């Protein structure tokens, strides 16, 4: 049967104390609602309807997808009312899966089990909680059959002792949903239209309500405060890091590795403490990442070591290279095998050939370096004239002496040599030595300044 998905994302989230719509607060560097969409998309639904309200324009700007349909809930009158806004977009001959945009840890495997359990009747996802405070309780018959959901504010003392709760996640044949929802009333303590009120209607028609108990209650935990957001962030990180460790990653402390994107690792990689991965990151085999480094949207070749306090963004690093400590590789940096970028070196749109190295205190931007180039400390490429960027080119086996300034556009050909302290403004031909510095004068009898007496 065709699957439709409805994601409720209209809540204001006033307890978040934020101007940002609640569902756009991030877990693992990604908006919560995007996690829910990804879990739903794994089931290959024909459409996903997002019910939006507070901050809807911001939500639309942040979330994209070819199969997304938007339905506005101008007034928040409960979950039943929210799903009513999605009804015109649903296929009657489908199963509708109803999810929540602030429940980011839900797994696609759980949703697949729930959808399969629905068939021609509703199926409800439940959870067993040691402290069910705040949740609607699942009331069962003496024989254990589902009877109804009672919200906490409407529950009697005996019902409040029940620890099986309604997660709110439902799979319902859409034709039933279309018949039942208009009949839902709001005669309750909140004066709202509750989605679970459709379940007794199914029972009255002689249909049973299937239930699926989630194995990990964190999957269905929602976010209403920043404290809860932080809790789910740590749970998410633990889940992702555990998956990576199963794939061969070793961590000094899994609790001090943060992943805000997608990371692919080879065998025998090691990551020390306080490392952050963002975007798409790929590590080859035997890569070592030392403490307090940020790796964003980069590929690191096998055998490479990223030393402490280094920052890589949109960089490609070859095999058996060494980066840092305190190095910054900016977007467009491409380093071949056996290269070295040392401490306090910054690169941008720099391509280094095999074996080349920039060891200390240098800026190499908009540059093409051949193989086995050695760039001395304090060297900079002057790539910007205030309006345009220009390229510095170095052939193989070039040596740049310390404290040199290379004013682009300029080329140092193969085997070229630049003396320390030089300002280079024109081509250095193959095998030439370039020296561009003022002649030294030594003044005899010079008197060192002394402080004046006060």
CA distances to 127, 211, 217 from 131, in Å: 11, 20, 11
Which candidate, 353, 317, 320, 319, places its Cα nearest to that of 332?
A: 317
Alpha helices in 42-89 (DSSP H): 56-62, 79-86
Catalogue the E-assigned strands of 129-163: 137-140, 146-150
Catalytic-labelled residue, pool 54, 81, 89, 360: 360
Catalogue the E-assigned strands of 321-407: 322-323, 328-329, 334-335, 340-343, 346-352, 357-360, 363-369, 374-375, 380-382, 392-394, 399-400, 405-407
Would you call 149 helix, strand, or coil by DSSP?
strand
Cβ atoms of 319 and 304 within 8 Å: the answer is yes
Return the structure tokens found at 257: 């590795």
Return the structure tokens found at 431: 């095998």
Which candidate, 402, 377, 373, places its Cα nearest to that of 392?
A: 373
Tell me the CB-side half-sphere exposure of residue 61, using CA atoms within 13 A.
6
User: What long-range pairs does 332-341 form, CB within 8 A, spacing at least 24?
Assistant: 336/371, 337/301
Catalogue the E-assigned strands of 163-300: 164-173, 210-213, 249-251, 257-265, 269-271, 275-283, 288-289, 294-296, 299-300
Q: What is the dihedral of CA 359, 361, 366, 368, to 10 degrees?
A: -20
Distance CA 40, CA 35 (A): 9
Distance CA 436, CA 278 (A): 43
Distance CA 362, CA 379 (A): 5
Residue 360 is a catalytic residue: yes
Q: Which residues of 152-178 are buried (b: 16+ CB within 10 A; e: fewer)?
A: eeebeeebeebebbbbbbbbbbbbbbb
Sign of CA dihedral 56, 61, 64, 69: positive
Catalytic residue IDs = 360
């Amino acid at each position: 049967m065709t699957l439709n998905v409805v994601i409720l994302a209209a809540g204001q989230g006033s307890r978040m104390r934020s101007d940002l719509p609640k569902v756009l607060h991030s877990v693992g560097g990604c908006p919560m609602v995007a996690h829910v969409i990804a879990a739903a998309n794994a089931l290959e639904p024909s459409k996903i309807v997002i019910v939006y309200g507070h901050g809807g324009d911001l939500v639309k700007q942040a979330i994209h997808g070819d199969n997304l349909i938007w339905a506005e809930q101008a007034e928040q009158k409960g979950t039943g009312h929210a799903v009513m806004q999605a009804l015109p977009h649903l296929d009657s001959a489908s199963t509708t899966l109803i999810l929540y945009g602030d429940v980011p840890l839900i797994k696609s495997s759980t949703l697949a089990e729930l959808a399969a359990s629905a068939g021609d009747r509703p199926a409800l996802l439940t959870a067993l909680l040691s402290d069910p405070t705040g949740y609607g309780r699942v009331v069962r018959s003496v024989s254990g059959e589902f009877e109804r959901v009672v919200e906490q504010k409407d529950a009697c003392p005996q019902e409040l002792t029940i620890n099986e709760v309604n997660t709110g996640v439902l799979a319902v044949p859409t034709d039933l949903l279309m018949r039942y929802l208009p009949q839902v009333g709001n005669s309750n303590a909140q004066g709202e239209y509750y989605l679970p009120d459709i379940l007794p209607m199914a029972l009255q028609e002689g249909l049973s309500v299937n239930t699926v108990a989630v194995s990990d209650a964190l999957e269905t935990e929602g976010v209403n405060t920043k404290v809860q957001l932080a809790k789910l962030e740590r749970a998410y990180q633990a889940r992702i890091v555990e998956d990576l460790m199963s794939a061969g990653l070793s961590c000094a402390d899994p609790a001090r590795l943060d992943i805000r994107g997608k990371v692919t690792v080879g065998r025998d990689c090691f990551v020390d403490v306080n490392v952050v991965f963002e975007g798409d990151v790929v590590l080859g085999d035997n890569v070592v990442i030392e403490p307090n480094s940020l790796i964003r949207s980069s590929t690191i070749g096998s055998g490479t070591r990223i030393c402490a306090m280094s920052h890589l963004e949109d960089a490609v690093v070859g095999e058996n290279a060494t980066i840092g400590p305190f190095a910054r590789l900016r977007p467009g940096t491409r380093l071949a095998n056996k290269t070295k970028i040392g401490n306090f070196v910054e690169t941008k749109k720099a391509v280094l050939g095999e074996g080349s190295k920039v060891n200390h205190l240098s800026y190499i931007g908009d540059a093409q370096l051949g193989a086995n180039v050695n760039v001395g400390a304090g060297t900079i490429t002057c790539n910007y004239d205030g309006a345009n960027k220009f390229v510095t080119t170095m052939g193989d086996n070039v040596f740049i002496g310390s404290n040199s300034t290379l004013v682009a556009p300029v080329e140092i050909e193969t085997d070229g040599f630049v003396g320390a302290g030089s300002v280079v403004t024109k081509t250095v031909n193959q095998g030439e030595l370039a020296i561009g510095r003022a002649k030294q004068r030594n003044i005899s009898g010079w008197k060192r300044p002394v402080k004046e007496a006060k």
